[in-house]
Amino acid sequence: MQLYSEADVDISCLQDKQISILGYGSQGRAHALNLKDSGFNVVVGLRRSGASWAKAEADGLHVKELAEAVKGACIIAFLTPDMVQKSLYAAIEAEIPDAATLLFAHGFAIHYQQIEPREDLNVVLIAPKGPGGLVRRQYEEGNGVPCLVAVDTDKSGEALQLALAYAAGIGGARAGVIETTFAEETETDLFGEQAVLCGGVTELIVAGFETLVEAGYQPEVAYYEVMHELKLIVDLLHEGGLRKMYEFISDTAAWGDMISGPRVVGDESRAAMKAVLSDIQDGTFARNWIAESEAGMTEFKRRMDADLQHPIEKVGADLRSRMDWLEN
Ligand code: NAD
Ligand code: MG
C-alpha cells in the first residue's frame, strides 16, 4: 500500500493557480471552503438559476457560471451528482484551458466512460472517505478525513503532485492519502454502499424491525433495538474495530453475535454479495442506473417513497422528537 502524508506533499505546484469547483453540494462546499482557508485561489462554478449560488456567495466565495468558472483553471473539480457529469463536461469542454487537470471525488464518470476527456488533460481522483459535512468539520478542528488518490491520465508529468496538493488543501493529507486506481475506487465504493453501508444495513434494520413487530412486540421497543442502538455499536467499531466492540458489550451479546450473526448473513447473503459485485464489475449496475437517470428517475422516486412510507419511519420520527439532543 502506498500512503502519502503531509510531509510527502509539495503544495507549491498549486500556489497562485486557480482551482475551479463545479457544484456546491455536500463535497463541493467542503472542498471549496477548505481550499480557500488553506490559501488557494478558488472559483466556484454554478448554474445562475441554482439554489447554491447565493449560499456560496454568502460563504465568501467567488462564484461564476459553469463555463466562465473553468476559464483559467489549473484544476477543475467535478463535484456535481455523478449522473450530471457527462452533460456538464460536454457543456464546458471548449472552455477548459490546455493541459488542465480534471479532478473527481468518485471515479464513476471516468471508469464507466461517461466522460472521454480531451487528449491534453490530466485526469485524477481525490476521494474523501466521508461525507462533505465531515470533511469540513474535521478540517476546522485541525484534522482531516482520509482520502484515496488515483491518476488515470498524466499528460503533464505532475498529475499526482497536483492531486496530492489538492488533498492537502482539503485537509485529507493530515489523515493520510492512499493510492488506488479509478477502477478500484469506483467498484469498491459502489459495492460498499450497496452491500454494506446503505443497502445492506437499511435492509437489515427493516427486516429486524418487521420480524419483531410481526411477532407481537411493540414497534417503539423494536425501533430502539434495531435502529437507535445501531449508532452505539457503529461508534465502537469505528473507534476500535471488533476488539473494542467486544470489550464493551456483554458476554451474552458477544456469544449471541458469534452464534447467530453467521446464520443471518449466511451463504445466501454471501452469494448475493458476489452477484452485486459482479454487476458492478461488468457494468450492469452502471448501465441500469444511467438508463434510470435518463428516463427521469421514476423508479428511483417510487422506491424511495416506499422506503419513507415504512412504519419504522413514523415510529422513529415520534421517538426522535422526544430526544432533544438529536439533530433532526
Ligand atoms: P450533491 O448532490 O451534494 O451536490 C451536487 C451539487 O451539484 C448541487 O449542490 C448543485 O450545486 C450542483 N448541480 C446539481 N445539478 C447540476 C447540474 N445539472 N449542473 C451543474 N451543477 C449541478 O453531490 P455530492 O454528494 O457532493 O457528490 C459530488 C461528487 O462527490 C460525486 O461524484 C459523488 O460521488 C462524490 N462523493 C460524494 C460523497 C458524499 O458523501 N456525498 C462522498 C465521496 C464522494
Ligand atoms: Mg434500503
Between CA 192 and CA 7 the distance in angstroms is 30
User: Distance from the CA of 53 to the center of ligand 1, in angstroms?
Assistant: 14
Does ligand 1 come within 6 angstroms of the Cβ of 26?
yes
Between CA 83 and CA 80 the distance in angstroms is 8
Q: What are phi and psi of 20, to 5 degrees?
A: -105, 125
Does ligand 1 come within 6 angstroms of the Cβ of 35?
no
Q: Which cell is 121 given?
A: 488533460
The pTM (predicted TM-score) of the whole model is 0.95
Which ligand does the CA of 87 lie closest to?
A: 1
Q: Could you list the mean pLDDT of each consecutive 10-residue stretch along the chain, which spans 328 residues?
A: 96 96 98 98 96 96 98 98 97 98 98 98 97 98 97 97 98 98 98 98 98 98 97 97 98 98 98 98 98 97 98 97 84
User: Distance from the CA of 307 to the center of ligand 2, in angstroms?
Assistant: 7
pLDDT in tens, 33-76: 999 999 999 999 999 998 999 999 999 999 999 999 999 999 99
Does ligand 1 come within 6 angstroms of the Cβ of 38?
no
User: Distance from the CA of 25 to the center of ligand 1, in angstroms?
Assistant: 5
Going by alpha carbons, the residue nearest to atom 12 of ligand 1 is 23
pLDDT in tens, 101-126: 999 999 999 999 999 999 999 999 99
pLDDT of residue 324: 85
CA atoms within 13 A on the CB side of 13: 19
